[in-house]
Structure 1
Amino acid sequence: MLQTARSSITPGQIWLDTKGDRIQAHGGSILAVDGVFYWYGENKEKSTPGSGIWHWGVRCYSSTDLYNWEDRGLIIPPDVNDPTSPLHPQQYLDRPHIIYNERTEKFVCWIKVMTPGEPTQRSTVLEADSILGPYTEVRSWLRPLGMNAGDFDLAVDPTDGKGYYYFGRIHTELICADLTDDYTDVTGYYSTHFPRKQPPFVREAPSYFARDGLHYLITSGTTGYYPNPSEVAVAPSYHGPFTVLGDPHPDDPSRTSFHTQISSVFKHPGKRDLYIALGDRWLPHYTADSSAALKAFEEHFGQEQGGDVEPMAELTTIDTSQAAYVWLPLRFDGSMAYIDWHEEWRVEDFD
Structure 2
Amino acid sequence: MNKIISSGNLWLDQNNNHISAHGGGILYYDKVFYWYGEDNTQGYLNSVGISCYSSTDLYNWKHEGTVLKQEQMPQELQAKNMGRVERPKVIYNEKTKKFVMWMHVEQKGYALSSAGVAISDSPVGPFEFLFYDRPVLFEPKEGFDQHTNEKELGNSFRDMTLFVDDIDSDGNGSLDAYVLYSSEGNWTMYIARLNSDYTWIDLPKTSNRIRPQYTIDDLGDKWSRQFIREMREAPTPFKYKNQYYLMTSACTGWKPNLAEYAVANHPLGQFETVGNPCVDDTKETTFDSQSTFVLPIDPNNGQYIYMGDRWEPDDLGKSTYVWLPLTVDNSGEVFIEWQDEWSYENYWIN
Amino acid of the residue matched to residue 90 of structure 2? I
Q: Which position in structure 1 is the counterpart of 2:156?
A: 148
Contact 2:52–2:64 under 8 Å retained in 1: yes
Matched, 1:33 2:29: yes
| Aligned equivalent of 1:277 | 306
Q: Deviations over 1:228-267 (max 9, x none)?
A: 0011001011111111110111411111101100101011
Q: Give yes or no for contact 2:161–2:235 (8 Å, CA) kept in 1.
A: yes
Does the alignment pair 1:43 with 2:39?
yes
Partner-residue secondary structure (3-state), 1:79: helix
Equivalent AA in structure 2 for residue 122 of structure 1 = S
Please say if 1:128 is aligned against 2:120. Answer: yes
Residues 1:15 and 2:23 aligned together: no
Aligned residue in 1 for 2:248: 219
The match for 2:345 among 338, 342, 348 is: 348
**TM-score (norm: length of structure 1):** 0.82
**In structure 2, what is the equivalent of residue 71 of structure 1?**
63
| Counterpart residue number, 1:202 | 231
Secondary structure in 1 matching 2:325: strand
Give the counterpart of 2:223 among 186, 190, 195.
190
Q: Which runs of 5+ in 2 are unaligned?
A: 137-153, 169-174, 204-218
**TM superposition shift of 1:172:** 1.7
Q: Would the aligned equivalents of 2:50 and 2:85 in 1 still touch at CA under 8 Å? A: no
Cα distance between partner residues in 2 of 1:81 and 1:107: 18
1:271, CA displacement in angstroms? 8.1
1:96 to 2:118 alignment: no
| Residue 224 of structure 1, CA deviation | 1.1
- Aligned amino acid, residue 152 of structure 1: M
2:179 aligns to what?
165
User: What pairs up with 1:238-317 in 2 under 5 angstroms?
Assistant: 238-268=267-297, 272-283=301-312
- The letter for the 1-side match of 2:121 is D
**Partner secondary structure for residue 129 of structure 2:** strand
Counterpart contact for 1:80–1:88, Cα < 8 Å: no
Separation (CA, whole Å) in 2 of partners of 1:19 and 1:246: 40
In 2, the alpha carbon distance for the partners of 1:118 and 1:344 equals 36
Cα RMSD after superposing both structures:
1.9
Seq. identity, %: 37
Instruction: Give yes or no for contact 1:228–1:257 (8 Å, CA) kept in 2.
Output: yes
CA shift digits 1:154-186 (9 cap, x unpaired): 111222111111111123211111111111111
2:345 is paired with a residue whose SS is: helix
Alignment partners' CA distance in 2, 1:63 and 1:89:
34
* Distance of 2:81 and 2:12 partners within structure 1: 23
Q: 2:318: which partner in 1?
A: 322
Task: Give the aligned residue type for 1:335.
Answer: G
Q: Secondary structure of 1:348's partner?
A: helix
Deviation track 1:277-319 (CA, whole Å, cap 9, x = no partner) reads 1110003xxxxxxxxxxxxxxxxxxxxxxxxxxxxxxxxx621
SS in structure 2 of the partner of residue 84 of structure 1: helix
Structure 1, unaligned runs of 5 or more: 284-316
- Given that residues 86 and 93 in structure 1 are in contact (C-alpha distance below 8 angstroms), is that contact kept between their aligned partners in structure 2? no
C-alpha separation between the residues in 2 aligned to 1:216 and 1:159?
16
Q: Where do 1:168-183 residues align within 5 Å?
A: 168-169=182-183, 170-183=185-198
* CA 155–80 in structure 1, closer or farther in 2 if over 3 Å, else same: closer
In structure 2, distance between residues paired with 1:18 and 1:175: 38
Name the count of aligned residue pairs: 305
Residues in 2 aligned to 1:35 and 1:81: alpha-carbon distance in whole angstroms: 30
Distance 1:86 1:242 in 2: 37
- The CA deviation string for residues 90-111 of structure 1, in whole angstroms up to 9 with x for no partner, is 3131000111111111110001
